A and B are shown apart, each in its own frame.
Chain A
Amino acid sequence: MSKKSSFSTAGERLTNGLLKENPTFVLMLGMCPTLAVTTSAINGLGMGLTTTVVLMLSNLIISLLRGIIPNRVRIPAFIVIIASFVTAVQLLLEAYIPSLNEALGMYIPLIVVNCIILGRAESYAYSNPPIPSLFDGIGMGLGFSFALTCIGAVREFLGAGTFFDYPIMPDSYTPITIFILAPGAFFVLAALTAFQNYLKESREKVGKEARHIGSGCSEDCMNCSDKGCSKRFYDTTAVNQGKNDELEFIDMEKGDR
């Protein structure tokens, strides 16, 4: 592999994790920390970056060891590698950023079972060379951090009227408390996912038929105004046809009598 191509692979892995396969908004992985710790932007960012460090290092090591780890025990081997990094990161956090450690609490040890990390190990690092795997980890981790920070920022803004703990709303603002409670996490996650789907769909240049195949088609051909659709099975012209048939049939009956 030449230098240039490995460089472009690395770049491709970065944008893949950040946008195309964003772990939170597209792959819907790691929902537990996403919903639980994003009560503020700083918590989201802290959780995201912690996961990024673990993801990066575990991807690198697993990729390096992929020739040695036997296929049948790969999952336990992955878990051991991930767990060692999580322990190291937690000890570091405890020593240098105790406030963040306290805010994230239980969710730091739970990074071990975060399905993004295991998923990337299984689907990418275990079958790819170390450098792309490292960048895959960075891309995925940054995508996760970006998503968590966005969710955290929206929830913090609506639910507490602050942005990274800095008050930006006037004092008369009554925070909508539900957004920093559990239900708010679901609302914001769903809204942001819908928003990125909207952006993606409006950017995609699709052919006339392709849009019916995606989620845009409600499958409700009866009330659909698009008469030229090839998937259409209900023909609106047939309704009038049927009425005429019925009238003719009755006329025939009269004729018989």
Chain B
Amino acid sequence: MSDLLKVSSNPHIRSKSTTVGIMAAVIVALLPAAGFGIYNFGLRALLVILVTIASTVLTEFLFGLYKKKLTVIDLSAVVTGLLLALNLPVNIPLWMAALGGVFAILVVKMLFGGLGQNFMNPALAARCFLLISFPLQMTDFACDAYSGATPLAIIKAGGGVDVTDMILGNTAGTIGETSMIALVAGACFLLLTGVIDLRIPGSYIVTFIVFIVLFGGRGFDPSYISAQLAGGGLMLGAFFMATDYVTRPITIKGQYLFGVFLGLMTGIFRLFGPSAEGVSYAIILGNLLVPLIEKVTRPVAFGKGGRRYEK
């Protein structure tokens, strides 16, 4: 008899990917952006990254000790810490970075049941927590190399920016958001290894471009569009945070819907909101809508459907 006819209990098709493997891939993919941040902003950026990662890992470790279930080895705390650090300005006081790490892991992730149960991206929730708590320190981008205003803020104020610099990353901003090239390189690595797919980032970016063309007031202006795409952490958000396995919709249709929603919200926040940026709030709002999106787009079981079933 052939091996195919062996009787065993399901699941019969297993994936070789593990949580640790996926998390490690995301860390590798974030390294170019982190490295460029350190090159761009100096060694203090490295310090911020290390402090944030240390605080997330330590929080998860201590909570694991308390719960007698050590989850820290799955590397997800490192990813959260790294993502959070890339979302912080280089001048942030170190204790604020550490506080953000504690908030991300303890309040957003562990209190809701740990990895897989958090309803919101921990790194982004911590960024918004810090942004609301310390608005001055979180928007102070001035450092040795740059005067302080981010390119998007300059555009919003009506000024002009150098698009080449924005794509390369030689601008003011948070540690990891400035270089579009480094982020896209990391994203390509994730796409090639199959960790993420293009459904959410693709529909997100396309919707955003359409929105900007329609309502941006400059029509189809390539330099304006590429400046909007390169600035404000759109690439970081679209490829690394909107695609978070835990907080994205499970259904394929739902993922497209999620991306479209994020694109719309980012466009609305950027063009009509008081701040020049809106990626983090858009993704957090999207995370909150995920249960509803999944409910609307729930696939019909095979063999069922059509009018007869609805009766």
Q: Interface on A for B, CB 8 Å cutoff?
A: 174, 176-179, 181, 183, 187, 242, 246, 249-250, 253, 257
Contacts and interface: CB of A to CB of B under 8 A. Distances in A.
B133 A177 contact: yes
Nearest to A158: B133
Given A187-B107, A253-B1, A257-B1, A178 B7 contact: no
A176 B1 contact: no
B17 interface: no
Given A242-B9, A257-B1, A178 B93 contact: no
A253 B6 CA distance: 9
B137 A246 contact: no
B107 A250 contact: no
A174 B1 contact: no
User: What does DSSP make chain A's interface, helix, strand, loop or mixed?
Assistant: helix
Interface residues of B, number: 15
Nearest to B8: A246
Nearest to B137: A174
A242 B107 CA distance: 40
B4 interface: no
A8 to B, nearest CB: 41
Contacts of B1: 253, 257
Given A174-B137, A253-B1, A181 B7 contact: no
A177 B132 CA distance: 7
A192 to B, nearest CB: 14
Given A176-B99, A246-B9, 17 more contacts: A174-B93, A174-B134, A174-B137, A176-B133, A176-B134, A177-B133, A177-B134, A177-B135, A178-B129, A178-B132, A179-B133, A181-B132, A183-B132, A242-B9, A246-B7, A249-B7, A250-B6
A177 B99 CA distance: 13
A178 B133 contact: yes
Nearest to A194: B111
Contacts of A183: 132
B102 to A, nearest CB: 12
A187 B107 CA distance: 9
Contacts of A178: 129, 132-133
21 contacts: A174-B93, A174-B96, A174-B134, A176-B99, A176-B134, A177-B132, A177-B133, A177-B134, A177-B135, A178-B129, A178-B132, A178-B133, A179-B133, A246-B7, A246-B8, A246-B9, A249-B7, A250-B6, A250-B7, A253-B1, A257-B1
For the complex of A and B, 7 pairs with smallest distance between CB atoms:
A178-B133, A176-B133, A178-B132, A177-B133, A246-B8, A249-B7, A178-B129
Contacts of A187: 107
A107 B7 CA distance: 68
A242 B8 CA distance: 10
A55 to B, nearest CB: 33
Contacts of B134: 174, 176-177
Nearest to A253: B1
Chain A CB within 10 Å — which of B6, B107, B132, B134 has the most?
B132
A177 B93 CA distance: 15
Contacts of B99: 176
A167 B67 CA distance: 37
A197 to B, nearest CB: 13
A178 B9 CA distance: 51
Contacts of A257: 1
A25 B47 CA distance: 41
A253 B1 CA distance: 9
A90 to B, nearest CB: 33
Interface string B109-136: 0000000000000000000010011110
Nearest to B68: A225
Contacts of A250: 6-7
A129 B134 CA distance: 53
A256 to B, nearest CB: 9
Nearest to B5: A253
A179 B133 CA distance: 8
Contacts of A179: 133
Nearest to A256: B1
Nearest to A250: B6
A250 B133 CA distance: 63
